[in-house]
């Protein structure tokens, strides 16, 4: 708690000291006006603080300040969980940030050698600060001064360039000295002292149309001769050319989505939301990171096809894409491709009714067959167990009407139900012949008269006697024909015998 209160107090003090007198927030990535400084702190001090100031963020309330520590060549994100392996963290009591200020609490000498930098972000992109070197001197050295210098200075061709090193706070008990340096590479490690430039302000000698890089060293010496060496960040000083600069036309060569939008799962029919997306725009002059999603055209803007769908963003003719998942919110009703067919069938003949359907939005089809005695849908009765795309109709004599319902099911989604045509199935009973029944004389034939002409008792006989009488007449005819044939045969035999006797009498004479 003590650390947090102290950190807030330090943040407020630095914010008041370094507030930028501007309130216009321009469209574009942040501009860093003051970089983290290379201050030498002493062991046992309450904190070693580093600050990054952006021109467009008055009060340091609107932009994101993200700090990183470089230790033994490896970069550590200070926002990661503190339980993670931060090998440098053991050399301070605690660490953290408030706003644009980062602090090591009670740093130890062993923390020296680390580097720290800040990435400042807004809705249009990010800008990285220069690396500041962490230096922790023995506790008996003079305390560190609070210093700053402009990160970039650009002047007209005929202007005098005065570069100031501001010392905002220091211990007046110590001697304060200055020394200006120049670095050809723009890096702190190869600075070279400028002879005679040992005041708080440097009159920079920068040729027209060129940029030079300067650093100011601020030194405090105690009575024992111990010196605290602190250095500002590198300041880039540019003198513009009197000849109008012909700037190369910047053209976009490609874009790359470096961070996906926050939302990548949708319901069908929703509009694409690009919030949270970051895009790197590559041009012939370099690249720029931006989160300004209004710059991009998106296709499709509305997601209608369930499943995995590709979304493409385009900027000045260059595109990149990402995938989103689109969930179904409803299922279209099935379409019946072939209706069942009824008709008339002989009893004992199988009638197999069949329906053919498909689901336009996918899913599993579910069927239910119904029967109706009237042919009206309101009289439908479900056929037990008939839940397939076909059903075998029971061979029941007479007419029965049938239809089938179909619906699609996909998880928790259920479509509307559609019904087939109502078809009639008519089973016709086979015709049968009654067997012949003989009727004897005197049998009542159902009208009160016996067969032989006597009066009967009025009892109905189901089958008349004609078939039996017809059989009797046939037998008589057959017997008559047999007798005629026998007579003919006897006559032939008699004729043969008479002929033989005549022949024998002739031979006897």
- Helix H, strand E, coil C: the string for 358-374 is ECCCCCEEEEEEEEECC
Q: How far is CA 60 from the centre of its chain?
A: 37
What's the pLDDT at 504?
Answer: 64
Rounded to two decimals, the pTM is 0.50
Helix, strand, or coil (residue 337): strand
Whole-number Å distance between alpha carbons of 10 and 105: 12
Q: How many CA atoms lie within 13 A of 197 on its CB side?
A: 21
What's the pLDDT at 236?
Answer: 95
What's the pLDDT at 507?
Answer: 53
The residue to which tokens 């990183």 are assigned:
68
Whole-number Å distance between alpha carbons of 368 and 387: 5
Instruction: Report the phi/psi class of residue 294: left, alpha or beta, with left for phi > 0 and alpha for psi in -120 to 50.
Output: alpha
CA neighbor of 48 nearest in space, from 5, 108, 100, 122: 108
Neighbours of 407 (CB within 10 A): 20
Q: How far is CA 23 from the centre of its chain?
A: 41
What's the pLDDT at 91?
Answer: 94
Helix, strand, or coil (residue 294): helix
Domains of the chain: 2-239 (2.60.40.10), 252-327 (2.60.40.3630), 335-428 (2.60.40.10)
CA neighbor of 182 nearest in space, from 191, 195, 190, 173: 191
Instruction: Chunk the chain into consecutive blocks of 10 residues (it has 509) and report each block's average pLDDT, rounded to whole numbers.
Output: 48 45 59 94 92 88 93 92 80 92 95 96 91 94 90 91 90 87 92 94 93 95 88 94 78 94 94 95 89 94 92 96 93 95 86 95 94 92 95 87 96 94 90 51 44 40 43 69 84 78 60
Whole-number Å distance between alpha carbons of 105 and 143: 15
What's the pLDDT at 243?
Answer: 81
For residues 286-311, one letter each, b for 16 or more C-beta atoms within 10 angstroms of the residue's C-beta and e for the rest, the string is: eebbbbbbebbebeeeebeebeebeb
Q: Give the contacts of 412 (CB within 8 A, at least 6 positions apart).
A: none
CA neighbor of 347 nearest in space, from 281, 393, 413, 288: 393
**CA 41, 47, 48: angle at the middle one, nearest 5?**
45
CA neighbor of 43 nearest in space, from 124, 116, 134, 125: 134
Q: Which two tokens stand for residue 139?
A: 């506790």
């Amino acid at each position: 708690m003590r650390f947090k209160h102290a950190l807030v107090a330090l943040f407020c003090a630095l914010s008041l000291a370094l507030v930028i007198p501007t309130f216009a927030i321009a469209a574009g990535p942040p501009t860093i006006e003051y970089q983290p400084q290379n201050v030498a702190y002493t062991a046992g001090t309450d904190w070693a603080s580093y600050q990054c100031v952006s021109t467009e963020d008055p009060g340091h309330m609107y932009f994101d300040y993200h700090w990183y520590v470089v230790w033994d060549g490896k970069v550590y994100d200070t926002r990661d969980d503190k339980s993670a392996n931060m090998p440098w963290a053991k050399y301070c009591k605690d660490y953290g940030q408030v706003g644009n200020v980062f602090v090591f609490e009670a740093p130890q000498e062993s923390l020296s050698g680390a580097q720290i930098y800040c990435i400042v972000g807004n809705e249009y992109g990010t800008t990285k600060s220069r690396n500041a070197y962490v230096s922790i001197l023995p506790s008996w050295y003079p305390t560190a001064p609070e210093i700053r210098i402009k990160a970039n200075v650009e002047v007209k061709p005929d202007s005098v360039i005065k570069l100031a090193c501001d010392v905002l706070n220091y211990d007046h008990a110590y001697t304060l000295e200055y020394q200006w340096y120049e670095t050809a590479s723009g890096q702190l490690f190869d600075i070279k002292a400028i002879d005679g430039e040992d005041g708080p302000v440097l009159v920079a000698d920068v040729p027209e149309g060129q940029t030079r890089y300067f650093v100011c060293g601020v030194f405090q010496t105690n009575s024992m001769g111990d010196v605290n060496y602190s250095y500002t960040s590198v300041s880039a000083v540019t003198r513009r050319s009197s000849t109008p600069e012909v700037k190369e036309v910047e053209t976009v060569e490609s874009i790359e989505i470096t961070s996906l939008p926050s939302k990548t799962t949708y319901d069908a029919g929703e509009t694409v939301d690009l919030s949270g997306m970051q895009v790197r725009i590559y041009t012939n002059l370099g690249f720029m990171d931006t989160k300004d999603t209004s710059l991009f055209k998106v296709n499709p803007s509305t997601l209608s096809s369930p499943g995995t769908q590709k979304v493409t963003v385009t900027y000045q003719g260059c595109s990149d894409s990402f995938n989103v998942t689109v969930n179904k919110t409803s299922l279209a009703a099935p379409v019946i491709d072939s209706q069942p067919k009824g008709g008339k069938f002989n009893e004992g003949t199988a009638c197999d009714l069949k329906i053919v359907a498909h689901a336009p939005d996918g899913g599993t089809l579910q069927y239910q067959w119904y029967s109706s005695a009237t042919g009206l849908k309101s009289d439908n009765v479900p056929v037990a167990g008939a839940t397939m795309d076909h059903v075998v109709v029971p061979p029941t004599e007479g007419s029965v009407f049938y239809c089938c319902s179909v619906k699609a099911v996909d998880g928790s989604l259920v479509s509307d139900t559609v019904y087939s045509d109502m078809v009639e199935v008519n089973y016709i009973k086979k015709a049968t012949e009654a067997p012949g029944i003989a009727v004897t004389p005197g049998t009542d034939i159902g009208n009160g008269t016996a067969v032989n002409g006597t009066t009967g008792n009025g009892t109905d006989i189901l089958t008349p006697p004609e078939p039996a009488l017809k059989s009797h007449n046939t037998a008589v005819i057959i017997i008559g024909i047999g007798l005629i044939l026998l007579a003919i045969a006897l006559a032939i035999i008699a004729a043969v015998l008479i002929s033989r006797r005549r022949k024998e009498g002739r031979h006897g004479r």
